[in-house]
Amino acid sequence: MGFADIYRGKRVLLTGHTGFKGSWLAEWLLILGAEVLGLSLPPSTDPALFDQLGLAKRVHHRIGDIRDFNTIRRVIDEFQPEFVFHLAAQPLVRLSYSKPVETYATNVLGTVHLLEAVRLANRSCIVIAITSDKCYENKEWVYSYREDDPIGGHDPYSSSKGAAELVISAYRRSFFSSEKSPIRVASARAGNVIGGGDWAVDRIVPDSIRALSRGEAIHVRNKIARRPWQHVLEPLSGYLLLGASIHQAGTTCECSRPSSLCSGFNFGPTLTSNRTVAELVQELLKHWPGDWEDRSDPDAPHEAKLLNLATDKAFQLLKWQPVWDFEQAVTETASWYRQCVADASAAPSVTAAQITDYTAAAKVLRTCWAV
C-alpha cells in the first residue's frame, strides 16, 4: 500500500508551510496532485526554501498565526480540508530558552486551536500533528524510545512538544474516539532532519553551509551530542503514509486502541545513523572541503546529548522503514546546497529531482508500496 493516488485532488491544509519541512512537504503534495492551502507566519529566514521553490504562487498561501484561534477556525471552515498536516511550530531548542512563552503558546496552544477548529467544523478530516522526538522524557541512555514511553522534556521546547502530545491524546480520546466520528487524529515524532533548503540559524547543517560558503571554519558547539540524523524526506514519507493508511482504513479505524493507526508514531533512522555532531560535520566536509573548530561552551543552555527512536511500530503497522542511510542523507543534503548555492534558480528542479530519486529508492526497498 502506498500513497500515489490517495492525495490526488484532495484538499490538504498544511500549517507551517513556509518553514523548511513544510516547504518540502508542500512540494511533495503538489507533485502528488493535492490542492494545498498553507497557513503560516512569513518565512523566518533569508533565503527561504519557500521562496526558492516559488510556493506562494503554487499553493493557496495564507499568512496567519496559529496562536489566533479565529484565524485557524476561519481557514478550516472556508477550505474544508480532507487532510491536515500540522507542522507550524517554534522549532529551536536554544531559542526556547530566550522565548519560552512564545514557544509554549505556539507549540501547545497552537495545537489546541487547530484541534478545536477541526472539532467545531465536525467534517470528515484526517489530522496528522507533528511534534518531535524530543517529546519524550529523555534519560540520555542507549535505549530507544517507544511510542508508549513517558512524555516529558528538560527545556521549554522539548516540554512544549511533550505537552502538545498530551493535548493531541486528550482531544483524540475525548472527542474523536467514537467510530462514528468523522475526524481521525494521529501524531508523528521524527528525529533530527537534515536536507537542502534549511537556512535556520543555530542549526548545525545551515550554520556549516554558511561558514563553508564564506570560506570559514565551521564552529561546532556540542561535538559529542549524538542525534538520529535523517534526511527530511524520510519522516515526510512517514507522515504521508500515515495519513494515507488512516484514509484507507476508513471507519474501521478503532481510535481508542493504543496500537491503532490513530495514535503516536516514531519516524527515525536506523541505529547506524545515530552519530555525533562531529561525525556529521566530518561527513559533510567530504562533499564540501573545509575545516571545523570545537567551540564547546560549558555554560551553554542544556541540550540532550543522546536520543534514539524505536520505529518498530511504523514498520509493523505501516510497513515504513528508512530508505537513505546516514551517508546518503548527507550526500543528498550536500548536493542540494552545492547546486543551489551556485545557482539559486536551480532549487525547484533539484528539490523535485531528489523527491523523485527518493521515491524510486522507496519503491525498491518498500516492495509493497505504490509510492
Q: Is 358 a catalytic residue?
A: no
Cell of 62: 495564507
Residue pair 164/16 in contact by the 8 Å Cβ criterion: no
CA distance 102 to 364: 43
DSSP 220-282: ES-TT-EEEEEETHHHHHHHHHHHHHHHHHGGG--TTSTTSSSSEEEE---GGGEEEHHHHHH
Q: Give the pairing of strands 292-294 and 218-220.
A: parallel
Q: Please choose, from the candidates 12, 229, 35, the residue with its C-alpha nearest in 3D space to the C-alpha of residue 128.
A: 12
Element (H, E) at 208: helix 204-213
Residue pair 4/244 in contact by the 8 Å Cβ criterion: no
Tell me how many degrees the CA angle 281-284-287 measures, rounded to the nearest 5.
Answer: 150
CA distance 268 to 288: 26
Q: Which residue in the block uniquely carries the three cell numbers 496528522?
A: 128
Count, residues in the chain = 371
In sign, the C-alpha dihedral spanning 29, 194, 192, 160 is: negative
Q: Please choose, from the candidates 147, 339, 111, 155, the residue with its C-alpha nearest in 3D space to the C-alpha of residue 261.
A: 147
User: Within its chain, how far is the Cα of 9 from the centroid?
Assistant: 23
Residue pair 281/208 in contact by the 8 Å Cβ criterion: yes
CA distance 15 to 7: 17
Quick count: other Cβ atoms within 10 Å of Cβ 223?
Answer: 18
CA distance 198 to 206: 6
Collapsing DSSP states into helix, strand and coil, what is residue 33? coil
Q: Please choose, from the candidates 15, 25, 63, 16, the residue with its C-alpha nearest in 3D space to the C-alpha of residue 242.
A: 25
Selecting among 157, 171, 239, 358, the annotated active-site residue is 157
Active site positions, annotated: 157
